[in-house]
Structure 1
Amino acid sequence: MATKAGRSNLDTICMVLLAVGEAFKAIDKRTEGTFLVQYPEIPWKKVFGLRNLLAHTYFDVDEAQIFNTCHHDIPALVTTVQKMIQDSQGQD
């Protein structure tokens, strides 16, 4: 059973992941699916899927899965976002 602080941390992390997924969903919609496909190193369907899970079935969240996502997947996402920013700055 999670401690109160642990549950609070999990809640915070889940809200950030939900917001990140929502932001990428909006980018994908705004660019009519043409932007994110330029960065195939990220499994975008899984990003959207996690967002949907967190938004619609929050109480089914697996704490270990969230930990693994943060530990293994977020660093690659950060690297890709940095590349996206660099690429978009080069288009000015």
Structure 2
Amino acid sequence: MSKKRYRVYLDDILTSVERIKDYTKNLSKEDFLKDLKTIDAVVRNIEILGEAARNIPEDFKEKYPELPWSKMISMRNKVIHEYSGIDLEILWQTVQEDIPSLEDQVKELVEN
């Protein structure tokens, strides 16, 4: 399977990552935890990037095991199915720690 065929999904992941970074830049953890609109926007984009990851076939994902495919899908499932019980501390940690590295990994995949 070629990257070209799944480029739309990879682009969706990158767009969602960029939006999450944009929505949360210059926010402290305390400000983020009080900002319901930003929380909703971040959650929505986690849904989108997880759905995009879910739509990429397993054989393609197996070629690029360094990407956290299952983690993206798992986060999507949590925010969709457990929306009333989202742990905002974990959400903030994801934004700060996982989103920047995910962006780097997907960009590298797309560019190479």
TM-score, normalised to structure 2, is 0.65
- Distance in structure 2 (CA, Å) of the matches to 1:22 and 1:57: 16
Q: CA contact under 8 A between 2:43 and 2:79: conserved in structure 1? A: yes
Higher normalized contact order (CA 8 Å, seq sep 6+, divided by chain length): 2
Task: Please state whether the residue corresponding to 1:35 is helix, strand or coil.
Answer: helix
- Give unpaired runs (5+ residues) of structure 2: 1-32
Amino acid at match of 2:53: F
Residue-by-residue CA offset, 1:39-75 (whole Å, 9 max, x unaligned): 3233322211110011111111011101101110111
**Identical counterparts, % of pairs:** 29
- Give unpaired runs (5+ residues) of structure 1: 88-92
Q: CA contact under 8 A between 1:42 and 1:76: conserved in structure 2? A: no
In structure 1, the partner of 2:69 is 44
TM-score, normalised to structure 1, is 0.78
Residues 37-46 or 67-76, more deviating: 37-46
Greater C-alpha radius of gyration: 1
- Work out the number of aligned pairs and report it: 80
Task: Please state whether the residue corresponding to 2:56 is helix, strand or coil.
Answer: helix
Amino acid at match of 2:60: F
* One of 27, 31, 34 as aligned partner of 2:56: 27
Q: 1:1-92, aligned counterparts within 5 Å?
A: 3=34, 6-28=35-57, 33-87=58-112
